[in-house]
C-alpha cells in the first residue's frame, strides 16, 4: 500500500503561484441549467447502476447529475487548456494549462468558485521521494496449506489466507463472485494480460474495461506491477497453486496512481475513477492506495485531516458508499513510523479499512493504527497482509507484506458474501462482516473489530433474512401460517403478544382436536412453530385456535 498521499485542504489559486503548477482543480458553484434531470437517470447512469440504487432504496440527488456541459465548454474554450478528468460528486474539474491568461479567464467565470493548484510541472524522469509501494516481494517454494476434503477449490499456496476467514465456506456453497463486479484502483497492472494466473479471467472476458486516469488512455498493462499483485489475490485461478478470494467475478482495472510522483491530483483521479465505477454499476471498489504526505510538503495532510471529512479522496470514497457500492481500502504501512495512523481514504466513515495480520492472526507491526482523528474505530478489521501469497510477474506464487495485500484478500470474500445476500444493502453486509470478527466485543486501534469469519457473517445474514421475510409475511398482522394450502406440514409464524405462554390447538371442521402446541413467548419476538406429520389428514378446512393470558384468536387453514 502506498504509504502516503494527501487530501487537498485546497490551496486557493493565486496569481503569484501560477508558475509552479501545471495542473489545477476548478471548483464550481452549482449545476444550474443542467440538461440532465434526476427523473431520467438512464441519461447518465447504466441500468446496472440504477438497479443497484433501486435495490437498496437509494434516491438520486444533485451529486448524481453530471457537471453542466456548458461549464465544461467554457473552460475548454478559455485558451490552451486540457480537461483531464472531472468529478460530478464534488463538482470540480481537473485541468492542465500553463497559460496565465486562460487561468485568469476561468477564475473570472461566474460559475467558478475558485481554482487550486494541485500538481506542478514534472520532469519526464521524475521519481517521487516518497516510498509509495514499499512491500517486500519474495518467491514461494512448494505448496502451502492443505485442501479440505469438501473444498470446491484446491487453493494450494493461498489456502491459509482464505481459511483464516473460513472463506472456503462461501466458495463451497457456490458463492465465488459470479455476476459481481469489482473495480480495482491502483498504480498499474503490469502484464496482467499475459500473466498465466489470470488465464481464466481473460478467456472468459471478465475484465470488462480498463482506463488509465494518469495518462488518459485505455491501456494499464505497461505501468507499475502493484495493482497486478492486488488483482492476483482476488482473481488468480491456478488450481493447486493460486486460487483468489473471488475468482469468478468481473473486473474493471483503473490506474489512478502516478507512482513517479506524489501529488493531490491522484486523489482527484481516484474520485473520477470511483464515479466511472458507479456509473457502470460496479458493486465493490477495492483500493490499496493512501494519502498523507506529498512531494511538496505544502500539500501534506495532518492527523486532524483524518476525520472522514476533509480530503478529496475520503469525501469521494464515502460518496461512493452512499451510491450503494462497498469500498474497501488498505489501512497503511506506517505502524512503525512517527506517523503511525491510517491515511486517507482509510479514515472514511463508510470505508471498510483493512489492517494486516499473518495467516496465524499475529498483528503486523507495520500496519497503521487508528483511531481516526474524530475517535472512530480504524482500521475496521484485519486480513492477511503479512506473508500474503500473490502471483508473481511470471504467474508463479510469490509472497508479499503490506496492507495493500490484506485489503484485496478480504475484499474478494466480502464480494462473495454480497453475492450470497443480494437482497441486503452494502452497509448491512459490512455490519455483518464486522460483527463476525474475532474481537467485535472489544475492538482496538490495531485491528479494529478483528479478523472476520465468513461462516459467521453468512449465518448472521441468513438469520436476519429469516426475520425480514417473516416480517414481510406478517405485514401488520401477528399470527399467520404457511404454506397455504399445506400438504404434510405447516408452520405458524407468531409475533409474541406478551411475556408468558401461548397455546395453539389444531381442530378439524367438526370441532375435533387433532394436536396442540405450547410456546413460551416474549412480547414482539418472532416464533416459528411447526405442525408436522399431517399427511394422513383429508383435504379440507381446519381451524387453528390461539390463546394466551389476554388474547384468543381462531384462523382457518386449508389442506
Condensed to tens digits (0 to 9), the pLDDT of residues 509-556 reads 999 999 999 999 999 999 999 999 999 999 999 999 999 999 999 999
Strands annotated E in 121-187: 137-139, 181-186
The DSSP 8-state label assigned to residue 400 in this structure reads E
Q: Is the pLDDT of residue 10 over 60?
A: no
The residues spanned by each domain of the chain are: 15-120, 146-467, 479-558
- Pairwise CA distance, residues 58 & 515, whole Å: 47
**Contact between 305 and 74 (Cβ < 8 Å):** no
Q: Which residue from 250, 279, 270, 273 is spatially nearest to 53, judged by alpha carbons?
A: 279
Average pLDDT over residues 328-344: 95
- pLDDT for 182-227, tens place per residue? 999 999 999 999 999 999 999 999 999 999 999 999 999 999 999 9
Would you tell me the crossing angle of helices 454-474 and 403-420 to the nearest 10 degrees?
30
pLDDT computed for residue 20 by the predictor: 80
pLDDT score, position 126:
62
Pick the CATH number of 479-558 from 3.40.1160.10, 3.10.129.10, 2.60.40.1180, 2.60.40.1930: 2.60.40.1930
> What letters, b where the CB count within 10 A reaches 16 and e where it falls short, cover 412-434?
bbbbbbbbbbeebbbebbbbbbb
Of 122, 154, 389, residue with least CA distance to 258: 122
Q: What is the dihedral of CA 386, 389, 391, 397, to 10 degrees?
A: 130
Tens-digit pLDDT profile for residues 402-449: 999 999 999 999 999 999 999 999 999 999 999 999 999 999 999 999
The CATH superfamily assigned to 15-120 is Peptidase S8 propeptide/proteinase inhibitor I9 (3.30.70.80)
- Per the prediction, the chain carries an average pLDDT of 92
pLDDT digits (tens, 9 = 90+) for 150-182: 678 899 999 999 999 999 999 999 999 999 999
CATH number among 2.40.10.10, 3.40.50.200, 3.40.190.10, 3.40.50.2300, domain 146-467: 3.40.50.200
Task: Tell me how far apart the terminal alpha carbons of the chain are, to the nearest angstrom.
Answer: 62
pTM of the entire structure? 0.89
What band does 149 get if pLDDT is binned at 50, 70 and 90?
Answer: low
* Alpha carbons 103 and 115: distance in angstroms, whole number: 8
Q: Find cell 389442506 and name the residue.
A: 559
Q: Alpha-carbon distance 443 to 421, whole Å?
A: 26
- In the block, which residue shows the cell 495532518? 302
Partnered with residue 187 across adjacent β-strands are: none
DSSP string, 394-450: TSSEEEE-SHHHHHHHHHHHHHHHHHH-TTS-HHHHHHHHHHTSTTTTS-BTTTBT-
Amino acid at each position: 500500500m502506498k504509504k502516503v498521499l494527501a487530501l487537498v485542504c485546497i490551496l486557493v489559486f493565486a496569481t503569484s503561484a501560477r508558475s509552479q503548477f501545471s495542473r489545477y482543480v476548478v471548483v464550481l458553484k452549482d449545476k444550474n441549467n443542467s440538461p440532465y434531470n434526476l427523473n431520467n437517470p438512464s441519461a447518465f447512469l447504466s441500468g446496472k447502476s440504477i438497479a443497484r440504487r433501486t435495490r437498496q432504496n437509494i434516491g438520486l440527488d444533485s451529486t448524481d447529475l453530471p457537471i453542466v456541459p456548458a461549464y465544461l465548454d467554457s473552460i475548454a474554450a478559455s485558451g490552451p487548456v486540457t480537461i483531464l478528468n472531472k468529478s460530478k460528486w464534488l463538482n470540480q474539474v481537473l485541468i492542465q494549462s500553463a497559460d496565465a491568461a486562460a487561468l485568469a479567464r476561468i477564475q473570472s467565470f461566474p460559475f467558478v468558485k475558485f481554482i487550486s493548484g494541485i500538481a506542478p510541472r514534472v520532469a519526464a524522469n521524475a521519481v517521487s521521494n516518497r516510498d509509495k509501494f514499499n512491500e517486500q516481494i519474495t518467491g514461494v517454494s512448494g505448496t502451502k496449506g492443505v485442501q479440505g476434503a469438501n473444498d470446491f477449490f484446491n487453493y494450494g499456496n493461498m489456502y491459509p489466507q482464505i481459511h483464516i476467514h473460513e472463506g472456503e465456506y462461501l466458495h463451497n456453497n457456490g458463492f465465488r463472485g459470479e455476476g459481481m463486479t469489482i473495480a480495482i484502483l491502483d498504480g498499474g497492472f503490469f502484464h496482467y494480460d499475459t500473466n498465466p494466473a489470470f488465464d481464466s479471467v481473460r478467456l472468459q472476458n471478465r475484465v470488462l474495461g480498463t482506463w488509465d486516469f494518469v495518462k488518459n488512455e485505455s491501456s494499464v498493462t505497461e505501468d507499475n506491477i502493484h495493482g497486478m499483485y492486488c488483482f492476483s489475490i482476488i482473481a488468480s485461478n491456478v488450481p493447486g497453486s493460486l486460487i483468489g478470494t473471488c475468482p469468478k467475478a468481473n473486473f474493471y482495472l483503473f490506474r489512478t496512481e502516478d507512482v513517479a510522483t506524489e501529488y493531490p491530483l491522484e486523489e482527484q483521479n481516484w474520485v473520477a475513477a470511483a464515479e466511472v465505477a458507479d456509473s457502470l454499476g460496479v458493486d465493490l471498489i477495492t483500493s490499496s492506495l493512501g494519502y498523507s504526505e506529498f512531494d511538496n510538503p505544502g500539500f501534506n495532510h495532518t492527523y486532524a485531516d483524518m476525520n472522514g471529512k476533509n480530503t478529496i479522496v475520503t469525501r469521494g470514497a464515502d460518496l461512493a458508499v452512499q451510491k450503494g457500492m462497498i469500498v474497501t481500502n488498505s489501512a497503511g504501512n506506517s505502524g512503525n513510523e512517527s506517523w503511525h495512523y491510517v491515511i486517507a481514504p482509510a479514515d472514511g466513515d463508510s470505508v471498510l479499512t483493512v489492517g494486516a495480520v499473518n495467516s496465524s492472526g499475529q498483528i503486523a507491526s507495520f500496519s497503521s493504527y487508528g483511531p481516526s482523528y474524530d475517535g472512530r474505530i480504524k482500521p475496521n478489521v484485519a486480513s492477511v497482509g503479512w506473508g500474503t501469497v500473490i502471483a508473481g510477474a511470471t504467474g508463479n506464487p510469490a509472497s508479499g507484506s503490506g496492507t495493500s495485500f490484506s485489503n484485496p484478500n478480504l475484499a474478494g470474500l466480502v464480494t462473495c458474501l454480497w453475492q450470497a445476500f443480494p437482497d441486503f444493502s452494502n452497509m448491512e453486509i459490512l455490519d455483518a462482516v464486522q460483527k463476525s470478527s474475532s474481537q467485535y466485543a472489544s475492538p482496538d486501534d490495531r485491528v479494529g473489530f478483528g479478523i472476520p469469519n465468513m461462516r459467521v457473517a453468512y449465518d448472521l445474514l441468513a438469520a436476519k433474512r429469516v426475520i425480514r421475510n417473516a416480517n414481510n409475511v406478517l405485514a401488520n398482522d401477528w399470527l399467520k401460517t404457511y404454506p397455504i394450502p399445506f400438504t404434510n406440514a405447516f408452520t405458524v409464524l407468531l409475533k409474541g403478544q406478551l411475556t408468558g405462554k401461548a397455546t395453539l390447538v389444531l381442530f378439524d371442521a367438526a370441532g375435533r382436536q387433532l394436536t396442540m402446541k405450547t410456546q413460551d413467548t416474549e412480547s414482539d419476538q418472532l416464533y416459528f412453530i411447526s405442525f408436522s406429520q399431517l399427511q394422513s389428514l383429508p383435504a379440507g378446512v381446519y381451524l387453528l385456535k390461539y390463546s394466551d393470558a389476554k388474547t384468543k384468536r381462531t384462523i382457518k387453514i386449508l389442506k
